[in-house]
Chain A
Amino acid sequence: MGRRARALADGLLNPLARLGQRGLKALAGLGRASLLLVGILAGSAQLLRRPRLLLAQVYNVGVLSVLIVAVSGFFVGMVLGLQGFYVLSQFGAKESLGVMVAASLVRELGPVVTALLVAGRAGSALTAEIGLMKATEQLSGLEMMAVDPVHRILTPRFYGGLISMPLLAALFSAVGVLGGYFVGVGLLGVDDGAFFGQMQAKIDFREDLVNGVIKSLVFGLVVAWISLFQGYDATPTSEGVSRATTRAVVHSALAVLAIDFVLTALMFGN
């Protein structure tokens, strides 16, 4: 009797305890991540004296992501043009196609999709690189040479992500607008002047474009931070690194989407 009651109580309490455990673990991780971010930022001054390190990382994150970002942007723009055309022509408003394409790209899809692509293309590479450096004792080796691995290895990668992201997002949006133009004006016969004219009339420089750039800066920070942290915090084995890489992409994607909601509410919700 008593045994059964205890089993029942355990059955009820154990999931609760596990939830608590998970919560504590997540909090501890957040704490470690925050400390790491402080360490990364503390290395900023040193980075100014070694701009070459930064250059190499802008290359790794930015230049190597250009192709995938540009191609994706063009296709997304073409799809927007196609979908928008059929919806808008039902309301006899196909002249607004340019507005629709540009607004979706500049406000949302540019920053968000670019962040997701960069997380998959460059973020996972960062995690794997840092994790492997940890597994092969390169980070410990630097530390034993009295070189701070956070300042030397992580800080340039962080700023590389931060700088590249808004530029990549702008590229995505610009190529996307051209893709929409190609489908809308080139294939479906929307008026050329109306496409750009309406766009210019409705897309505001400060409210749409500047906010989009701010968004992508925030995403750049978040994706670089999460990717570097997952690599730095990885269990230094091949299995640990591969798991950290997966986690980096999943966490980055979730964080980008969640933060996008908050930022959109703050920026465009008046």
Chain B
Amino acid sequence: MGRGHNDHPPDSTPGGILIGDGSLGAAGSSTKSPCARVAPGVAVNPVSNGDDCLVRIRGLSFSHGSRVIFDRVDLDIPRGAVTAVMGPSGTGKTTLLKLISGQLRPDAGSIEVDGEPVQALGRAALYQLRRRMGMLFQSGALLTDLNVFDNVAYPLREHTDLKPAILRKLVLLKLEAVGLRGARDLMPSELSGGMARRVALARAIALDPMMILYDEPFTGQDPISMGVLVTLIRQLNDASRMTSIVVSHDVRETASIADFIYIIAGGRVMAQGTPAMIAAERSAWVRQFMDGLADGPVHFHYPAPALAADLLTRGLG
């Protein structure tokens, strides 16, 4: 992946806000906000009163029943860059996307998207904000009773009054961008998983959003469609100066396109930094996660009494 853009050395322009580090002591050098660091190289949206952060999360807490998913998390998503959020399964990566898009409300803390406090927005304002966001769901979430063309046209028909001829051109351009212009008449059931995700991507960018949220875009893809998606995410981000948030646990693919990486686990941010910084990270936990080691700080065995004691116990259970 030869990409020179947005890749600033870790020590350039400090001045981000200090973020509480993980309990396992993620290195101190990576605890600065990424916005100031990444953004200067990227076009800054003039309406955003010079704020380089598109998403600013402060003190976010969220629990599902009695299970704490986020515990006072601070996170910044820089404008115009690809930010990856990685972590083991079940750490609430998808929940984070739902919180950013306002599908869930946090228990405490604030989530600002382009200066608007998502957690406090009313329905109408939230829907207004969502028109400027796209989200790519794991399953694609295409409407099963509409064909590819109508699926991509859906948000346009819903939110604009375009003439059919213009609408058709727009939809075909979006489909062309994901390489599926020829598949416009297929039904979602006739698409492979990777194609369904690309159609969903075309639909997500139909309204030219300022930000796209990718929920596990690489899960369950064969190497070819994985490569296609990786390239697409990077291309779309750079071509239209969008902001991308990629949630994933596919370490290699994600690291190859991200400008900035957050690793979250156990409700907190374990490590953050550019891919190079994460690669240089010495913390045992981060190493285990990034290198996919079977045993380490996260044990192979689910907590249990000693094997010998367990085998010698008489009776059932």
Contacts and interface: CB of A to CB of B under 8 A. Distances in A.
Contact of B141 (A141, A147, A148): A141
A146 B137 CA distance: 15
Interface in B137-168: 137-139, 141-144, 154-155, 158-159
Interface in B94-141: 98, 101, 103, 127-128, 130-131, 133-135, 137-139, 141
A138 B127 CA distance: 17
A145 B144 contact: no
Q: What is the interface residue range for chain B against chain A?
A: 20 to 34
Given A145-B130, A146-B128, A146-B131, A140 B154 contact: no
Contacts of B139: 136-137
A136 B138 CA distance: 9
Interface residues of A, number: 13
Contacts of A207: none
B158 A137 contact: no
A143 B144 CA distance: 16
Contacts of A144: 101, 103, 130, 133-135, 137
Contact of A146 (B98, B142, B159): B159
Nearest to A56: B145
B131 A137 contact: no
A186 to B, nearest CB: 45
Interface string A135-166: 01110111111111000000000000000000
A144 B215 CA distance: 13
A143 B158 CA distance: 12
B130 A138 contact: no
A137 B137 CA distance: 7
Nearest to A148: B127
A133 B155 CA distance: 17
Nearest to A132: B144
Contact of B143 (A138, A140, A148): A138
B133 A137 contact: no
A146 B154 CA distance: 11
Contacts of B103: 140, 143-144
A78 to B, nearest CB: 39
Contact of A141 (B98, B128, B135, B158): B135
A184 B128 CA distance: 65
Nearest to A147: B158
A144 B102 CA distance: 9
Interface in B196-225: 200, 203
* A133, A146, A147, most chain B CB atoms within 10 A: A146
B159 A137 contact: no
Nearest to B134: A144
A145 B137 contact: no
A148 B154 CA distance: 13
Given A145-B158, A146-B159, A140 B137 contact: yes
A137 B141 contact: yes
Contacts of A142: 143
Contacts of A147: 154-155, 158
Contacts of B134: 144
Given A144-B101, A144-B134, A144-B135, A138 B155 contact: no
Contacts of B128: 146
Contacts of A143: 103, 130
A141 B137 contact: yes
Contact of B154 (A133, A136, A137, A145): A145
A137 B139 CA distance: 7
Contact of B142 (A138, A140, A148): A138
Which one of A144, A147, A148 has the greatest number of beta carbons of chain B within 10 Å?
A144
A211 B252 CA distance: 68
A182 to B, nearest CB: 40
Given A140-B103, A146-B158, 15 more contacts: A133-B144, A137-B137, A138-B143, A140-B137, A142-B143, A144-B101, A144-B133, A144-B135, A145-B155, A145-B159, A145-B203, A146-B127, A146-B128, A146-B130, A147-B158
25 contacts: A136-B139, A136-B141, A137-B138, A138-B141, A138-B143, A140-B103, A140-B135, A140-B141, A141-B135, A141-B141, A141-B142, A141-B143, A141-B200, A143-B130, A144-B130, A144-B133, A144-B134, A144-B135, A145-B155, A145-B203, A146-B128, A146-B130, A147-B154, A147-B155, A148-B127
Interface of A: 133, 136-138, 140-148
Q: Which 10 A-B pairs give the minimum distances between C-beta atoms? A: A141-B141, A137-B141, A146-B127, A146-B130, A144-B135, A137-B137, A145-B155, A146-B131, A136-B139, A138-B141
